Amino acid sequence: MNVQQQSLQDIQAIKKMMERSSRFISLSGLSGIFAGISALIGAVVAHPYVYGYKNLFIDNKLASRQLQSRDYTIILNTWLFWIATVTFASALILAFIFTLAKSKKQGIPLWGSSSKRLMINMMIPLIAAGFFVLKIFYLEAYGLFAPACLIFYGLALINASKYTLAEIRYLGYSQLILGIINLGFVGYGLYFWAAGFGVMHIFYGAYMWLKYERNVQEN
C-alpha cells in the first residue's frame, strides 16, 4: 500500500471516530418497544372518549359550570387529559429505565457530553411543539393535535439523530410522514397517533434491539 492510500485511510478513520464518539450509543431498543406499548395501551383506553362513546368529563356538574364561565381548567376535568398524562409519564419512565440499564452495562455515564447534546437537540423542537399544541387547544382545533405531535416529534428525532444511533433518523422520517398524511385525514388522528407513537416505536425499537443488544447479551 502506498503512502497516499495510507493517509487517506487515516483521514477516514479519524472522521469515523469523530462521528462515532460524539453520539450517545446507550439508547436502548427496549426503551422504544416499551414506550410504544404504553402508547398503544393509552390509545386503546382513550379511543371511546375521543370518539364520543363515553362521557369525556369526570365531573359533569363541575363541567357545565366550567363551560359557562369559559374556565380553562376544564381540561383537568377530562378523562383524556389524565389518560394522556399517565401514558406520557409511563412511556418516559420506561424509556429512561432501559436506557439507564444499557448505559450501566456499557459502563458509560448516562449524563455525559453526548447525552447532553442529544437532549438539547431533542428539546428544541419539542418546546416549540408545546406552544403550538397549547394554541391548538385554545382554538379548539383538536383535529390538528395528532398531526402536530407527529410532525414536531419527527423533526425532533431528525434533529437529534446526529447525536445518537443512526436509526433514530428513520424513526423521525416515519413520524413526520405519518403526521403530514394525517393532515389529509383530520378526523382519524388517534389512529395515526397510535401508528406513530405505538407501532413505529415498537418496530424501530425491536430493530435496534436485534441489531445492537441481542448479540451483546449472548457474548
The one-letter code for the residue type at 197 is F
Specify burial of residue 5 (Cβ count, 10 A radius: 0-12, 13-18, 19+).
exposed
Binding of other proteins by 119 (CB under 8 A): no
- Interface residues for other proteins in 85-114 (CB under 8 A)? 106-109, 112-114
Q: How far is the CB of 23 from other proteins (least distance, A)?
A: 10
Grid cell locating 82: 389524565
Is residue 78 classed as helix, strand or coil in its secondary structure? strand
One-letter amino acid of 161:
S
Of the listed pieces 6-14, 28-36, 50-58, 198-206, which binds other proteins according to CB under 8 A?
6-14
Between 25 and 44, how does the x/- string for binding to other proteins read (CB under 8 A)? Answer: x-------------------
**What is the grid cell recorded at 193?**
397517533
Minimum Å distance from CB 16 to other proteins?
Answer: 8
CA-wise closest residue to 56 among 88, 82, 90, 85: 82
Interaction site with other proteins (CB under 8 A): 3-5, 7-8, 10-11, 13-15, 17-18, 20-22, 25, 106-109, 112-114
